[in-house]
Amino acid sequence: MFIGKTALITGSTSGIGLGIARTLAAQGAHIVLNGFGERAAIDRLRAELAEAHGVQVRHDGADMARPEAIEDMMGRALAEFGSIDILVNNAGIQHVAPVDEFPVDKWYAILAINLSAAFHTVRLALPAMKRKGFGRIVNIASAHALVASKYKSAYVTAKHGIAGFTKAVALEVAEAGITVNAVCPGYVLTPLVEQQIPDTAKARGITQQEVIRDVLLAAQPTKRFVTVEQVAALTAFLCAEDAASITGAVLPIEGGWTAQ
């Protein structure tokens, strides 16, 4: 489906981003991974994806909090592949605290990585997309782009910002063959979330199953985690020709959370 196209996915050495990279590679896209990790593990991942799917796979460790690093990453990808046909903005961080106790440095870091990084990747990818008359931009937002939760002021602010940014850019490029959409997952059982479950159970004096049902999935009516594969499948669909008329959409995939 994406043979000959290049996809750059930020925050893609693990979790949702890696799931999206795997799905796009399986459909023929060359892949630019981005994210932190052990060098040897990343090299193994690159080789695995390339061999399994017969595509080129590169890794760029650019720090998405630094605009100059993002510019360098985008420049390298564009120089090698000529264009970034599919851009997935997935990198993100989180910090939880009451707003009057929220560390100022955490506020700025969350806005930089979860919101401003998408501005930089999009502005740098668009010229080549416009020249080709084709582009797919998918911003991985969150249910928190649509609703709020206590103690997550920076994250909610950034994700609401991503929703607005998605709509604005979609309107700007609507006649250029470029679509821009946001995907809004609820709780996804990533390795990071899995690691938090035992500690939360211990801290609250409850079972791990109670943590899953009554803490993590309290807001999701299905009481089931969204899977990485489901988020990846929706993202891939939005990049396909069948989704050419879907743009400016902010699409929830969160087990009914925002229907309440």
Summarised one tens digit per residue, pLDDT across range 132-186 is 999 999 999 999 999 999 899 999 999 999 999 999 999 999 999 999 999 999 9
CATH number at residue 98: 3.40.50.720
Do both 145 and 17 map to the same domain? yes
**Mean pLDDT over each residue of the chain, to the nearest integer:** 96
Contact 119, 64 (CB under 8 A): no
**Taking the C-alpha atoms of 171, 166, 232 and 117 in order, what is their torsion angle to the nearest 10 degrees?**
130
Do both 96 and 212 map to the same domain? no
Instruction: Choose among 135, 168, 75: nearest CA to 160.
Output: 168
Instruction: Choose among 237, 38, 259, 252: nearest CA to 140.
Output: 252
Domain for residue 1, yes or no?
Answer: no
Q: Reduced to 3 states, what is the DSSP secondary structure of residue 100?
A: helix
Q: Parallel, antiparallel, or unpaired for β 86-89 and 6-9? A: parallel
Calculate mean pLDDT across residues 21-43.
97
Question: What pLDDT does residue 182 have?
Answer: 98
Calculate mean pLDDT across residues 45-56.
97
Do both 196 and 162 map to the same domain? no
Do both 92 and 216 map to the same domain? no
Q: What percent of the chain has pLDDT over 70?
A: 100
Q: How many domains does the chain have?
A: 2
Calculate mean pLDDT across residues 216-237.
96
Calculate mean pLDDT across residues 225-247.
98
Calculate mean pLDDT across residues 23-32.
98
Q: Reduced to 3 states, what is the DSSP secondary structure of residue 23?
A: helix
Asked whether the CA dihedral 42, 237, 163, 258 is positive or negative, the reply is: negative
Can you tell me which residue has the tokens 């089931």? Answer: 224
- Given the residues 108, 151, 155, 187, select the one marked as catalytic: 155
- Is residue 108 annotated as a catalytic residue, yes or no? no
Do both 221 and 231 map to the same domain? no
Which residues constitute the domain of residue 249? 6-186+227-259
Question: What pLDDT does residue 246 have?
Answer: 98
Can you tell me which residue has the tokens 């990453």? Answer: 73
Do both 100 and 178 map to the same domain? yes
pLDDT at 122 over 90: yes
Calculate mean pLDDT across residues 25-38.
97
Do both 243 and 171 map to the same domain? yes
Do both 178 and 76 map to the same domain? yes
Can you tell me which residue has the tokens 């695995």? Answer: 48
Dist CA 90 CA 195 (whole Å): 20
pLDDT by residue (tens digit) across 184-204?
999 998 887 888 798 888 878
